[in-house]
Amino acid sequence: MLRALRHRKEVRRGLVMSGRHEKFYKRVVAPVMRLLYGRAMRDLFSAQTLEEQRVIYQRRIDGVMWRTLVRHGFSERILKFVLNDPGYRVTIDVDSVGDYILERVHHTFMNHLAKDNHWLAFTFLGRYPHRSTLPHYLLRENYEAIRSAPTKVEIVTGNLIEYIQKAPDGSLDKFSLSDVTSCIPQGGFDQIMRNIARVGRPGGRVCYRNFLAKHQVPEEARSTLFRDEVLSTSLTHDDKAFVYDIEVLTVKGWPARAA
């Protein structure tokens, strides 16, 4: 309650726009895009076909200045600044952060309509231009489904590795690890995966996203955690969170004990 009162202005303005990340895109990235690519960016996000979008992107945006901005604007140094934590350590397995982001942005503009992607819109426009260009949880057609879902959430604040080590065998069947791989070395990730193999129920599903770290399931857990090749490849190619590789696993059989 006290924290809510301390940030009541942000609450009134809307929590979606109140994070440091969101403010950075809105106050820094979007104004730069308007200054340098105003009409081109508007036309890009208004394109109705991929062919039209590709022409706009390749002829009016993609170039030396664009590539330089993306390479230097999405770096580990900028990430630390945005998150306001100089000690923040991102596990990096790619040769160049800027080149990786540039490749993913290029892939998205060449293969997916920008007007339908809320991630792209907020990153480069600093806003959601249309009601249909919103995150799934804010779309009108999803409201009732979310509101009526019989979901019971127990919030646990603690160390993920310690929590999953204490979980009983075969006690869980869904695992969404989101950005865990960005903030944990391969050794810690291996511990998590070994314990998921132990606590996961047969048929359970595991989903995690790789950003700059490219963690894979350790060898000793692969007899229990099977990668869904088709779904993982499809999501990595088509997901609106375009900077991520999406990994989807299925729990098979009864897992062995893990350390």
* Other beta carbons within 10 Å of 155: 4
Regarding whether 16 and 72 lie in a shared domain, the answer is yes
Q: Are 105 and 70 in contact (CB under 8 A)?
A: yes
Name the nearest CA neighbour of 198 among 168, 219, 161, 220: 168
pLDDT tens by residue, 230-251: 999 999 999 888 889 999 999 9
Q: What is the dihedral of CA 98, 102, 105, 110, to 10 degrees?
A: -170
Domain span at residue 235 reads 156-251
Regarding whether 178 and 128 lie in a shared domain, the answer is no
User: What is the distance between the alpha carbons of residues 113 and 93, in angstroms, rounded to a whole number?
Assistant: 29
Name the nearest CA neighbour of 215 among 101, 91, 100: 91
Regarding whether 6 and 115 lie in a shared domain, the answer is yes
Evaluate whether residue 94 is within a structural domain: yes
Q: What is the mean pLDDT of residues 181-207?
A: 93
pLDDT at 116 (0 to 100):
92
Token couple for 62: 């993609």
Domain boundary residue, one of 143, 169, 189 = 143
Q: Are 208 and 180 in contact (CB under 8 A)?
A: yes
Q: What is the mean pLDDT of residues 45-69?
A: 96
Evaluate whether residue 13 is within a structural domain: yes
User: What is the distance between the alpha carbons of residues 71 and 83, in angstroms, rounded to a whole number?
Assistant: 18
Q: Could you tell me the CATH number of the domain that includes residue 206?
A: 3.40.50.150
Domain boundary residue, one of 143, 167, 190 = 143
Regarding whether 174 and 67 lie in a shared domain, the answer is no
Q: What is the DSSP string of 94-127?
A: SS-HHHHHHHHHHHHHHHS-GGG-HHHHHHHHSS
Domain boundary residue, one of 116, 143, 170 = 143
Regarding whether 12 and 118 lie in a shared domain, the answer is yes
Regarding whether 163 and 132 lie in a shared domain, the answer is no
* Other beta carbons within 10 Å of 210: 22
DSSP 59: I
Regarding whether 229 and 194 lie in a shared domain, the answer is yes
Sign of CA dihedral 210, 213, 214, 220: negative
pLDDT exceeds 60 at position 226 = yes
pLDDT at 183 (0 to 100):
81
pLDDT exceeds 90 at position 72 = no
pLDDT exceeds 80 at position 253 = no
When divided into structural domains, the chain yields a total of 2
Evaluate whether residue 258 is within a structural domain: no
Residue reference for tokens 């291996």: 190
Lowest mean pLDDT, pick from 23-37, 68-82, 150-164, 245-259:
245-259
Evaluate whether residue 148 is within a structural domain: no
pLDDT exceeds 60 at position 210 = yes
Query: Considering the entire predicted model, what is its pTM?
Result: 0.82
Regarding whether 126 and 9 lie in a shared domain, the answer is yes
Please, which pLDDT band fits residue 83 given cuts at 50, 70 and 90? low
Name the nearest CA neighbour of 110 among 168, 34, 45, 58: 58
Q: Report the relative pairing of strands 245-251 and 200-210 from DSSP bridges.
A: antiparallel
The dihedral region occupied by 126, where left means phi > 0, alpha psi between -120 and 50, and beta the remainder, is left
Q: What is the mean pLDDT of residues 132-160?
A: 88
Please, which pLDDT band fits residue 10 given cuts at 50, 70 and 90? confident
